[in-house]
């Protein structure tokens, strides 16, 4: 989701709760208004905030600070007293609440192993394509904080090889941090699983055993192995849930309407 759009929805959704001071760590303070971590995390899908890179977290927080400044300026100009603005805020608030209710129902879905495997069999042609092997270059680091800092420097323009020669703590540094080609199965499969999620030219971060690594893909080739059910389990689950979302929406609406609501159209 676009960060600015996401944060606009956050501001709208927090309007009715502004009188209650949220708890938790402080992220920032803008002209006396405190922005709290727990309030911010609550707007992300479960686990998504924790999965973000440190640099992405900082960008999200900066966006929230900027939007808070804009919202404060809008308050000073009394724009929230405009009937059209009030109507838009009311609509956005209803949308956030409705989406929260739908998300809560979707979270209750239980996908069985039989459903997962049945979906895999039906769509087997889509999944049984040759996998890619990835040639990985890595920088070994002692802890998560150091790894995040090194990744941030690379994202800000430091050459990967410069960071490798300067920060890597393992002997593999002498051969340029080159792991060779890694496969979806084997001792280095964690790197393969992380590499699959990378965008072109992007560097990533992962923990293996007691060390942290910043890594990138330097080459790829078609693997001799075929994708298995286990390798596609998470993707299959996402697809099934996606297909069930419309069904959840219809059933939820039907359930609510069956309560005898008073609805009039003019």
So what's the pLDDT on residue 237?
81
Residue 180 β-bridge partners: 136
Question: Residues of the chain with pLDDT > 70: what percent?
Answer: 86
Spatial contact of 218 and 135, defined as CB atoms under 8 Å apart: yes
On whether residue 134 sits in a domain, the answer given is yes
Rounded distance between C-alpha atoms, residue 83 and residue 246, angstroms: 33
Question: 93 and 8, same structural domain?
Answer: yes
On whether residue 214 sits in a domain, the answer given is yes
**Token duo for residue 224:** 């001799």
Question: 8 and 98, same structural domain?
Answer: yes
Rounded distance between C-alpha atoms, residue 101 and residue 251, angstroms: 12
For 18, list phi and psi in degrees, rounded to 5: -65, -20
Question: 149 and 93, same structural domain?
Answer: no
On whether residue 232 sits in a domain, the answer given is no
On whether residue 231 sits in a domain, the answer given is no
Full domain range(s) for residue 55? 3-107
Predicted confidence (pLDDT) per residue in 20-41, tens digit: 444 578 889 999 999 888 888 8
Rounded distance between C-alpha atoms, residue 194 and residue 88, angstroms: 41
Question: 24 and 95, same structural domain?
Answer: yes
On whether residue 263 sits in a domain, the answer given is no
- In the predicted structure, residue 225 carries a pLDDT above the cut 70: no
The confidence band for 138, taking pLDDT boundaries of 50, 70 and 90, is very high
Question: 38 and 75, same structural domain?
Answer: yes
- In the predicted structure, residue 10 carries a pLDDT above the cut 60: no
- Mapping DSSP onto H, E and C, the string for 160-210 reads HHHHHHHHCCCHHHHHCCEEEEECCCCCCHHHHHHHHCCCCCCEEEEEECC
So what's the pLDDT on residue 219?
93
Work out the average pLDDT over 213-236: 79
On whether residue 102 sits in a domain, the answer given is yes
Question: 128 and 97, same structural domain?
Answer: no
Looking at per-residue pLDDT, the higher value among 186 and 167 belongs to 167
Question: 154 and 102, same structural domain?
Answer: no
Residue whose entry in the numeric block shows the structure tokens 């995040």:
148
Query: What is the reported pTM?
Result: 0.46
Question: 129 and 101, same structural domain?
Answer: no
Question: 214 and 172, same structural domain?
Answer: yes
Predicted confidence (pLDDT) per residue in 97-124, tens digit: 888 888 888 888 888 888 888 888 887 7
Spatial contact of 204 and 197, defined as CB atoms under 8 Å apart: yes
On whether residue 133 sits in a domain, the answer given is yes
Rounded distance between C-alpha atoms, residue 205 and residue 159, angstroms: 16
- In the predicted structure, residue 192 carries a pLDDT above the cut 70: yes
Work out the average pLDDT over 147-154: 91
Residue whose entry in the numeric block shows the structure tokens 């560097």:
203
Determine the straight-line distance between the first and last CA of the chain, rounded to whole angstroms: 36
On whether residue 76 sits in a domain, the answer given is yes
Q: How many domains does the structure of the chain reveal? A: 2
Cβ within 8 Å of residue 106, ≥6 positions away = 241, 244, 245, 248
Residue whose entry in the numeric block shows the structure tokens 């992380």:
194
Q: CA nearest 181: which of 123, 225, 143?
A: 225
So what's the pLDDT on residue 197?
84
């Amino acid at each position: 989701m676009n960060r600015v759009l996401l944060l606009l929805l956050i501001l709208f959704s927090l309007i009715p709760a502004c009188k209650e001071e949220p708890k938790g760590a402080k992220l920032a303070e803008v002209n006396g208004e405190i922005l709290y971590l727990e309030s911010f995390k609550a707007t992300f899908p479960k686990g998504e905030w924790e999965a973000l890179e440190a640099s992405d977290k900082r960008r999200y927080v900066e966006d929230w600070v900027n939007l808070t400044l804009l919202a404060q300026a809008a308050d000073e100009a009394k724009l929230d007293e405009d009937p059209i603005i009030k109507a838009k805020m009311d609509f956005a608030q209803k949308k956030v609440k409705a989406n929260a209710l739908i998300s809560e129902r979707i979270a209750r879905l239980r996908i069985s192993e039989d459903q997962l495997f049945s979906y895999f069999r039906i769509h087997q042609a889509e999944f049984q394509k040759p996998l890619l092997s990835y040639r990985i270059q890595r920088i070994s680091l002692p802890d998560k904080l150091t790894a995040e800092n090194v990744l941030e420097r690379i994202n800000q323009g430091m050459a990967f090889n410069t960071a490798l020669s300067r920060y890597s703590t393992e002997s593999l540094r002498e051969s340029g941090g080159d792991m060779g080609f890694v496969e979806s199965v084997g001792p280095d499969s964690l790197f393969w699983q992380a590499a699959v999620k990378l965008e072109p030219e992007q560097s990533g971060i992962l923990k293996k055993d007691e060390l942290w690594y910043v890594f990138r893909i330097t080459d790829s080739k078609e693997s001799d192995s075929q994708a298995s059910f286990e390798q596609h389990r998470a993707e299959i689950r996402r697809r099934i849930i996606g297909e069930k979302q419309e069904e959840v929406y219809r059933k939820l609406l039907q359930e609510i309407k069956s309560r005898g609501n008073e609805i009039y159209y003019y």
